[in-house]
Structure 1
Amino acid sequence: MKHIINFTLAILLVSCSSDFLERDPYGQLTQEQISKEENLESLIVGAYSILNGQIDNASNAFNSPASNWSFGDVVSDDAYKGGGGTGDQNNIHQMEIFNTNPSIIDIERKWKALYEGVRRTNLVIGVLNDTDNITADLKQQRLAEMKFLRGHFYFELKKIYNRIPFLDENATSLSDFKVSNTELTDEQLWSKIEADFNDAYATLPTTQSQKGRPTKYAAMSYLAKVYLFQEKWSQVLTATEDVILNGGYGLMDNFEDAFLPENDNGPEVIFSIQQSINDGAPNNYNGSIGDRLLAPGGPRYPAYGFLRPTQNLVNAYKTNNVGLPTMDNSELTASDNVDPRIDFTLGRPGIPYKDLGILYQADWARDLATYGPYGPKKRIVSANSSNHLLVWPYVNAMNYYIIRYADVLLWRAEALIHTDDLEGARTIINDIRKRARDGNKVMTLDGSATAANYLIEEYPAFTDANQAMTVLRMERRLEFAHEGHRFFDLVRWGTAEQVINNYVTAEKVIRPYLSGVNFIGGKHEYFPIPQSQVDLGGTDESGNPLIIQNSGY
């Protein structure tokens, strides 16, 4: 089996809570029993297991996907919801058209999944602090792992919901759990998240024999991301330099190689969620359960048909006669030059699909009239692969990459632009493009020629910082499309309102269901707090609600 950590949860040891404010007992185990090394390890595995968004052994983990395909792609200019029309998973449709309300299942489940991760890591930290049944070194390493995971869960909560309650392992009594989501300032909350990753970095080893566990440089990479979201550019430079010089990571030779299951613990992957199939887990729920609706249809896959590429994204891959993005989003035609990453990222009619020996066809697309002819490809595993499950729930064993090395490189390039080193940023961006230029291309079925007019080249010197940022933002889009990051990038850049409304204005001409969609600045950058949490949050001593809804909802 390809994954060393088996994330099947020992239910006796860790049960799911219905609300993040509840602290579950240890089942039938005493404190002495729970502190034994083998039981501690089961608790620790339980904390890892929640990474994939599965909170209740249900098939609808697609409402709390670890990949954020609905929270980061569908609400951006990169993807339509897809599926069988706007009524199919209408909750996600409401998110796509910015009509999200605090009671839809996705808003509820994502919050619960992330706070379940917080609860489990806090539980393990508390137990570890109270035990002497393992060696001091192992204890410190496991504490560091739990702080890394807790930092991840809180980072996700912060970027999705913004104003969140913060609970650590010291919350033990009922009163400790009565926490306001406005108690900490923005800066204080970020500082708490930074502290977890700093602690993890200080203790974690440089390598792990079990690939699902974070390393020192995974912690530093995540710390760089936390700094990035706060625009702490000098700290981003320091953190990324440490990772680049000492982490031992690198870009794979071919862009497509980074998205093959056999490589998903390779040199480009800094931290990922381990996923596996045929490992004895009920219903193969250790596979990519959060992404199971993405199957593109056609002769080899079920026709769930969600996460459909937008025409806007397709157009973004168009290049000019010197191999640079046209930047005008004019409609791509069959004769145009394209960035070769397009045909590893999405399915296009007439282009071979994976290694199946067949061409992707427009009629693979479910509800072609509503969502157009394109399909997902980057995170779809070949139906010929043993890492793809041919029966329900049709999941795969490709890990979800929370951070890959190309992230770190482009974070550094962004920080260099903001610190006036445009040439340093250009060098990094061109390193990413050279991989796409020099690596494998999609070929015709008979292998005699490339499947399209692929042309990509390096950027010449930037004229100013504005041009450099335009290029940087485009490069992140092209490199990371459909990896769950686009919307959050637009928000942190402060461009979400302009970009999404411009996209809707053009796209609604061919996708009429987008008519009337309007992104409201100051509201839609964050999702609403689940209504259940507002209702259950209680009041302070003055009778004021502890959980305050986000503005505009």
Structure 2
Amino acid sequence: MKKIVLFLIMVAALSMVSCNKEEILDQPLRGQETLDDFFSTAENAERFVNGIYRKVNGESWWQVNFQRQINEMATDDNWAGNTRQPRPDITGISQYNVFAGSRYFVLFWESHYIGITRANISLDRIPGVDIDKDKKERLLAEAKFLRAFFYFDLVRNFGGVPLVTSYNEILQPTINDKERSSVEEVYAFIEQDLVEAINDLPLKSEYAAADLGRVTKGAARSLLAKVYLYQEKWPEAQAMAKVVMDSGEYSLEPDFADLYKVGNAHGVESIFAIEFINNPTFSEVGGQFSITNGSRGDRGWGWGSPTSDLENAFLSEGDNIRLRSTIIKHGEPVFGDPDVTEFDGKPDENKSGRTNRKYYTPVADRPEPYARGQIPGQYMHIRLADVILFHAEAAYFNGDETSARNSLKLVRDRVQLDTNMSLSGAALRDAIWKERRLELALEQHRLYDIRRQKINGVPRIASILGPNGSFVKYNTEESTDPFETTNLLEPQNSGILFDPNIHTLWPIPPDEIQLSRGKITQNPGY
């Protein structure tokens, strides 16, 4: 069994699983027979589950990953960045001048529901396959985890979404009668899938090296802790995160710089990650971020440029260890790459002259051709430091400030930062939230964090963006950054159009509303 990487897995039965529901309804019988034939062997059952993993990051860069990258651009951590190529479909989202029908929302939605459909097919069909009992239970548990993962991504972006829990629902005309379930119903379904999956998943240490990347018990527990956190179920989130921390399965990388180091896929801190490889025989088997995030002066596209506001957050903590492994700055050496002593951040074509170091590929590790979809490495959806900070936050809100401080200290110790162990109240809360920003910067968590974190019931994003937001005021009234204040091809007041009554969710793709004959309703303001 090869590692779960983004190689091309040809699954014949999926040829009839189209994004177009009308096409599916045209040929239900033939599709049913194809599945009967396909799920006739244990090997095919595993191949089919492997095919679900392809949807975790999308089967091409623009299906899922670029929307995640645009989400980062819609925060105080990133500019859209690329000022050479006007792209209103990208900058419109990042600057909150949102077009509801953007292809990025459409593709994100469709890709996730195709993943859900593949999971549903697996859950419907694998019980009838002649296969070893333990392996069958594991494959079913993997499918449940992945289905929960897709629904969690959807509910965080769009709010309540239609729940499709069986492939048979798609084969029936009633699919067009589906309505949006409530946020609470979606979360309850996610919790159920994860709770059921945990018992039948192996520990990371129980997998052979060749199978690293498959879903583990620790991944399911970590995602469940995160789901609890998003619902403000503080006692449950604290307890579940602690189970992962105490499991002995994971540890913090001793050197923060090694987290995204090429060759360190599925390292000691990684809980759920997708590994990328270089194989010119196939397309889209490698990573994309080194190119899409990369500087236009370094064979990249220049999207998603770190802000000076983010850099200042590191500097205010004296956090040079994480800063040098997070942000590359024009004219400076690239930390960890002896081949680049003066980085070309192309500030005349890039809003901030800065580039994401986490997804940067050192010159010596670059394949030829150095092209999107062929870059080795990994993307970690969940890692231990993230879970430790779940624990700190949940413990704080659960009234256990001692545990919150201890977890905060664990993360800061790695990067040689002192922790004020007398912190309490709002100061402790803010320190935990700031630590999440610094530790997880540019890893596609920021938008979700500032949407869900609340002060007196108001999402933090409303105090950061909008006409009176701290990020907007910094850029328009305070900043003297030599790159950002001179390249005004991306407006300095990015984020000023944010409206808390609209933009804490993205719009439902209008095509989905039309296909449902209006039974699926649009989010307010769109």
TM-score computed with the length of structure 2 as normaliser: 0.88
Distance 1:190 1:117 in 2: 18
Following superposition, the deviation at residue 344 of structure 1 comes to 0.4
Q: Identify if the C-alpha distance between structure 1 residues 35 and 292 changes in structure 2 by more than 3 Å, giving closer, same or farther.
A: farther
Distance 1:262 1:136 in 2: 34
Q: Identify if the C-alpha distance between structure 1 residues 33 and 109 changes in structure 2 by more than 3 Å, giving closer, same or farther.
A: closer
Q: Identify if the C-alpha distance between structure 1 residues 255 and 389 changes in structure 2 by more than 3 Å, giving closer, same or farther.
A: farther
Following superposition, the deviation at residue 236 of structure 1 comes to 0.7
Distance 1:115 1:359 in 2: 45
Distance 1:398 1:519 in 2: 35
Match of 2:443 in 1: 483
Match of 1:150 in 2: 147
Moved more, 16-25 or 376-385: 16-25
**Mapped pair 1:359 → 2:358:** no
Residue type of the partner of 2:327? L
Distance 2:177 2:464 in 1: 36
Following superposition, the deviation at residue 338 of structure 1 comes to 4.4
**Mapped pair 1:436 → 2:415:** yes
Residue type of the partner of 1:503? F
Distance 2:156 2:14 in 1: 27
Q: CA RMSD in A?
A: 2.4
Alignment of 1:308-323 (within 5 A): 308-319=305-316
Distance 1:11 1:78 in 2: 39
Distance 2:101 2:291 in 1: 23
Alignment of 1:477-516 (within 5 A): 477-493=437-453, 494-500=459-465, 501-508=469-476, 510=485, 513-515=491-493
Residue type of the partner of 1:64? V
**Would you say how many aligned residue pairs link Structure 1 and Structure 2?**
496
Distance 1:21 1:123 in 2: 18
Q: Deviations over 1:71-99 (max 9, x none)?
A: 2x111100011224461x32110011101
Distance 2:292 2:199 in 1: 39
Distance 1:137 1:179 in 2: 37
Distance 1:340 1:420 in 2: 31
Q: Deviations over 1:426-474 (max 9, x none)?
A: 221122111112xxxxxxxxxxxxxxxxxx4322411x32001110111
Match of 2:426 in 1: 466
Residue type of the partner of 1:294? N
Contact conserved, 2:13 with 2:35, CA < 8 A, in 1?
no
Distance 2:277 2:385 in 1: 24
Q: Identify if the C-alpha distance between structure 1 residues 158 and 33 changes in structure 2 by more than 3 Å, giving closer, same or farther.
A: closer
Moved more, 13-22 or 140-149: 13-22
In the alignment, which of 372, 383, 392 is matched to residue 371 of structure 2? Answer: 392
Contact conserved, 2:213 with 2:275, CA < 8 A, in 1?
yes
Contact conserved, 1:67 with 1:290, CA < 8 A, in 2?
no
Contact conserved, 1:288 with 1:398, CA < 8 A, in 2?
yes
Q: Structure 2: state its 5+ residue gaps.
A: 454-458, 478-484
Following superposition, the deviation at residue 30 of structure 1 comes to 5.7
**Mapped pair 1:377 → 2:330:** no
**Mapped pair 1:195 → 2:200:** no
Alignment of 1:137-536 (within 5 A): 137-169=134-166, 170-182=168-180, 184-207=181-204, 208-209=207-208, 210-278=211-279, 280-281=281-282, 283=283, 285-289=284-288, 292-298=291-297, 301-319=298-316, 325=317, 337-353=318-334, 354-361=336-343, 363-365=344-346, 367-368=348-349, 371-385=351-365, 388=367, 390-393=369-372, 395-437=374-416, 456-462=417-423, 464-493=424-453, 494-500=459-465, 501-508=469-476, 510=485, 513-515=491-493, 517-536=496-515
Contact conserved, 1:348 with 1:360, CA < 8 A, in 2?
no
Distance 1:349 1:401 in 2: 27
In the alignment, which of 52, 58, 70 is matched to residue 47 of structure 1? Answer: 52
Distance 1:414 1:389 in 2: 44
Following superposition, the deviation at residue 377 of structure 1 comes to 1.0
Distance 2:22 2:75 in 1: 32
Following superposition, the deviation at residue 164 of structure 1 comes to 0.8
Q: Identify if the C-alpha distance between structure 1 residues 26 and 266 changes in structure 2 by more than 3 Å, giving closer, same or farther.
A: farther
Q: Deviations over 1:356-386 (max 9, x none)?
A: 432343x422544x60221121111212115
Q: Identify if the C-alpha distance between structure 1 residues 148 and 394 changes in structure 2 by more than 3 Å, giving closer, same or farther.
A: closer
Residue type of the partner of 1:372? S
Match of 1:334 in 2: none
Contact conserved, 1:147 with 1:200, CA < 8 A, in 2?
yes
Residue type of the partner of 1:288? G
Distance 2:21 2:462 in 1: 32
Contact conserved, 1:163 with 1:181, CA < 8 A, in 2?
no
Q: Deviations over 1:484-513 (max 9, x none)?
A: 000100000121111122212222453561
Contact conserved, 1:7 with 1:45, CA < 8 A, in 2?
no
Match of 2:103 in 1: 105
Following superposition, the deviation at residue 17 of structure 1 comes to 1.5
Q: Identify if the C-alpha distance between structure 1 residues 522 and 255 changes in structure 2 by more than 3 Å, giving closer, same or farther.
A: same
Residue type of the partner of 1:136? K
Q: Structure 1: state its 5+ residue gaps.
A: 320-324, 326-336, 438-455, 539-544
Distance 2:375 2:57 in 1: 13
